[in-house]
Amino acid sequence: MRGQLDARRHQRGITLFGLLLWAIVIGFVALLGMRVLPTVNEYLTIQKAVNKIATEGLSTVPEIRNSFEKTKEIEYSIQSISGKDLEITKENDKVVIRFAYDKEVEIMSPVYLLIKYQGSSKGK
């Protein structure tokens, strides 16, 4: 009888409550990932477009804005900013294009996640 009690004390495993808790945590992380990954993809697309435009050799602000608008028409995932939102400067005879925008992601109604994206053609 004593051997059976010792065997029960040393059993290891996961309880139903523990399994449900982990399922909720994994489900929430998956939901968060599914909601946030499209915004990260959009940011990376904008960053790539800005880097490409900065190396094209365009010199005037309207040319750069028009080039971004053309790229935006091709890249359907760019929706958060337009050519008017770009900050264009010249540093050391190089064109530097900066951008910044906020993205609200609805997790579950009334809970939102605010993500602030910013970038530049210099990689800052």
**Residue-wise pLDDT tens for the chain (124 aa)?**
565 656 566 677 888 999 999 999 999 999 999 999 999 999 999 999 999 999 988 888 999 999 999 999 998 889 999 999 999 998 888 899 999 999 999 998 899 999 999 999 974 4
- pTM, two decimals, is 0.80
Residue 64 lies in a domain: yes
**Residue 60 falls within a domain, yes or no?**
yes
Range of the domain at 96: 37-124
Has residue 68 been placed in a domain? yes
In a domain, 42, yes or no: yes
How far, in Å, are 2, 46, 87 from residue 34 at the CA level?
Answer: 52, 20, 30
On whether residue 13 sits in a domain, the answer given is no
Q: Is residue 89 part of a domain?
A: yes
In a domain, 56, yes or no: yes
Q: Does residue 45 belong to any structural domain of this protein?
A: yes
Number of domains in the chain: 1
Q: Cα separation of 49 and 75, whole Å?
A: 9
